[in-house]
Amino acid sequence: MAYNNELVNRVRERLSIEENIEVEEKKMFSGLSFLVNGKMCINISHNNLMCRYSAELEDEVSEKKGFLPMIMKGKQLKGYCYVEPHGFQKSDDFEYWIKICLDYNPSAKASKKSIEESRFERKVK
C-alpha cells in the first residue's frame, strides 16, 4: 500500500482541529483511509486524495482542478472522486476538499461491515 506520508500528516493535522468527531485510520482502497465517526470520509492513495461527498455536488466538484472521477467496474461512482496534487496544493483548495467530505459525513451511510461490527460490539458489552 503506497501513500504519501506528507499528505497523510496534512490530513491528520487538519482533522485534529475538528471538534466532536472521532477519527480512525485504516488501510483500505490501496491507501490510508480516515474514517470519521465510523464512516469512510477521505482517503490517501499514492499522492492523491480520494474524497467522499454528497452526489448532489457532482457537477460543481467535477469542475475543480485535479478532479478525477472514481470508476469502479466500468461505472463512475457519484459522490466519490480522486483529486490529483495540483488540485489541493493551495490551502484554500485543500480546505475545500476536506470541508465537503466532513459536511457529507453525518449523512453518509456506514458500510455494512461497520454496521455489523457495531452490532457485535453492542452484543458483547
Query: Which strands, in side-by-side order, build the sheet including 67-72?
Result: 23-28, 31-36, 39-45, 48-52, 75-83, 67-72
User: Which domain does 87 fall in, by range?
Assistant: 5-121
The residues, ordered by sequence, that sit 6+ positions from 51 with a Cβ below 8 Å of its Cβ are 42, 43, 61, 80, 81, 82, 83, 97, 100, 101
pTM: 0.86
Residues 17-74 pLDDT 10s: 999 999 999 998 789 999 999 999 999 999 999 999 999 999 999 999 999 999 999 9
Q: b/e per residue, 32-63, with b = 16+ CB within 10 A?
A: bbbbbebbbbbbbbeebbbbbbbeebbeebee
The total domain count for the chain is 1
